[in-house]
Amino acid sequence: MATKKRGSKLNKSETVQVRFDPKLKMVAELLAAKERRSLSSMIEWAVERIAREIPVATSKSDGSPLTAWQVVDECWDSEHYKRIKNLGDAYPGLLTYEERRLYELMVQVIIWCLDERLPKGRHWLMVKILWEDIVQCADESISENELLRLLKDVLTTDGDLFQLSTAADNAQCPVA
């Protein structure tokens, strides 16, 4: 017998800790009870609803307002570094301070890749390989000089990987 799936329609959910004023929490609990939802489901529904209503940016093509949902639809990727790249390219004003720092470091890695004459289409592969190090650099756990050294280490140990160029790989990596 087939079992019915419960809960959110998302494939993967993430936990978010939220601090509520006690009165607002009671309001959310009352709404959840009325809608026969869990508190978590109620909050998720409310955020989704408001994300589809409130404009957060302007369309570059026709100047029309774009909701948060529309921006996310345009910029979404399953890989974190690609989401930041897409958002930074299209709507840099919507980046948080931390995302802006990550975006700037990704650009710096691309510049270093150009200096190292890395074949076109391999720059974003390098960003993917160094992503955890880029995050550490943004957190100031390692310096930019250390990040550059790590990039050069990858190039010397995995040089053959970067010399190969296939259409499939180029299609998977966003173009700089």
Q: Is 164 inside a domain boundary?
A: yes
Q: Based on the structure, what is the number of domains in the chain?
A: 2
- Residue 163 inside a domain? The answer is yes
Of 158 and 81, the one with more pLDDT: 81
* 84: amino acid identity, one letter: I
Kindly state whether residue 9 falls inside one of the protein's structural domains.
no
- 38: containing domain: 22-51
Structural domain includes residue 107: yes
Choose among 86, 89, 133: nearest CA to 109: 133
The pLDDT of 39-62, averaged and rounded, is: 94
The pLDDT score that the predictor gives to residue 96 is: 96
Do residues 166 and 102 both lie within one domain?
Answer: yes
Let me know if residue 126 belongs to a domain: yes
Segment 155-168 mean pLDDT: 55
φ/ψ of residue 21, rounded to 5: -65, 140
Q: What is the pLDDT of residue 13?
A: 82
pTM of the predicted model as reported, rounded to 2 decimal places: 0.75
Q: How far is CA 118 from CA 47, 48, 51, 85, 112, in A?
A: 43, 42, 40, 19, 9
Residue 124 counted as domain residue: yes
